[in-house]
Copies of this chain bind each other. A is one copy, B any other.
């Protein structure tokens, strides 16, 4: 067990991360299946160390799970209902895993579960990553850590589905203000990839010429060499964020 206590971590405050990736015209979210029996799925989460800033904690949690440093992230909401607790989930885990827990020190288990069963305020971030660069990395809490199509998520514990929904809504709102969404693309990309991304996130289609003009008018992209794919006369240009 990871040794959660208020000497090390701020109690009753959790960080939950909605990590968005984009591939094959699908917007995906990184979901953890908890170690131990019970089929419990949730968002990558963690706590804030006593000597650690809030954003630093979010970056650490993201790095632990994705291997990436300096990820683009955005705080979008605090969830803080008075009855917001893991208690039901914890009890389900205990019922499904009596054998496992029988072998552990009862005092340690009690302390960990008391920690995890507290009421938690969740500080929620979404992160935008280049899915090709991510190596999903399990912590000792995870049985699996995988990308799921945002429209085909497994049942998530607590209010995590609501958190995902709100993250998507917030992403769409921010998109109108700036071009953060391009953090979901690889370093070099063609205009069609940008259009695919916008169409996926907004679940709509755009006229190609209008879309290209709108994006180029933002003035944030450098046009690079053509991307040769064999049919030379049709090769599209590659683009990159301006430095």
Contacts and interface: CB of A to CB of B under 8 A. Distances in A.
What number of copies of this chain does the assembly contain? 2
A81 B48 CA distance: 11
Contact of A80 (B12, B48, B82): B48
A121 B54 contact: yes
Contacts of A54: 78-81, 121
Interface in A30-72: 48, 50-56
Nearest to A58: B80
Q: Give the contact-size bracket for chain A.
A: 20 to 34
A227 interface: no
Contact of A119 (B50, B79, B80, B82): B50
Given A52-B82, A53-B82, 7 more contacts: A10-B119, A10-B121, A12-B12, A48-B121, A54-B80, A75-B77, A78-B123
